[in-house]
Every structure is written in C-alpha cells, then in structure tokens.
C-alpha cells in the first residue's frame, strides 16, 4: 500500500504514472522483506526504523548510504510498505520533520 501527502492512498497505476515524473519512492519495509518479496523498481529502501535519522542526515552522507540524492523538504516523496500501516507512519514522520 502506498501513501503520499496530498493523497493518503495511491493505486499501483497512480504510482506508476507518478514514477514517470521526478518523484522519490521510499520503500519502508525491512530489508528481509525486500529480499523475500522483491524490490520495487526505482525505489530506495529505508526501513521505517531508520527513516527519521535518514531524513535528518547530511545530504552527502545520505547519498553515500542510500545511493540516491537526499530529498529536499519540498520534493515529492511517496512511501510504500506491505499493508499501508508503516507508510502512513513514514508520512507522519516526514511531515513532522518539515517535509511538505
């Protein structure tokens, strides 16, 4: 299940369309889940337990750790997980850190 600020839930098709634009897709599942169920193309994996720390990293450190440019607070970001609970938490965390 997927979450974005303006639309708390997105369908898979909506996500596919969004991914054609400049959007950062963060998968907050645990690494073992990615290994077991597969990685979503063009997403980065930041387990929910690391997210708050990751979103406060120095941009250089973020790029080194996640091999991706750190999002600015105004950049479009989508979170996903398995059932939708963790992606909603991720959205709350990000918004509490000032992400719009």
Determine whether 3 is an active site residue.
Answer: no
Letter string b/e over residues 78-87, b meaning 16 or more CB atoms within 10 A of that residue's CB: bbbbeeeebb
Which one of the listed residues 51, 70, 81, 91 is annotated catalytic?
Answer: 81
Task: Give the distance between the most distant pair of CA atoms in the chain.
Answer: 33
- 19-78 pLDDT, tens per residue? 777 788 999 999 999 999 999 888 999 999 999 999 999 999 999 999 999 999 999 899
The reported pLDDT for the residue numbered 41 is 86
Rounded to an integer, what distance in angstroms lies between the CA atom of residue 73 and that of residue 3? 16
CATH for the 26-97 domain, from 3.40.30.10, 3.40.50.1100, 3.40.250.10, 1.10.390.10: 3.40.250.10
CA 35 to chain centre: 17
Q: What is the pLDDT of residue 69?
A: 92
Per-residue confidence (pLDDT) for residue 8, from 0 to 100: 59
Query: Domains of the chain: which residue ranges?
Result: 26-97
Distance of alpha carbon 78 from alpha carbon 83, whole angstroms: 15
Q: What is the mean pLDDT of residues 82-87?
A: 88
H-run or E-run covering 61: helix 59-66
2 — pLDDT class (breaks 50, 70, 90): low
């Amino acid at each position: 299940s997927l979450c974005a600020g303006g639309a708390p839930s997105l369908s898979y098709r909506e996500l596919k369309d969004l991914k054609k634009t400049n959007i950062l897709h963060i998968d907050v599942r645990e690494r073992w889940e990615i290994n077991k169920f597969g990685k979503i193309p063009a997403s980065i994996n930041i387990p929910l337990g690391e997210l708050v720390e990751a979103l406060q990293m120095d941009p250089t450190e973020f790029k080194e750790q996640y091999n991706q440019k750190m999002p600015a607070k105004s950049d479009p970001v989508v979170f996903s997980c398995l059932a939708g609970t963790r992606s909603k938490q991720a959205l709350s965390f990000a918004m509490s850190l000032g992400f719009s």
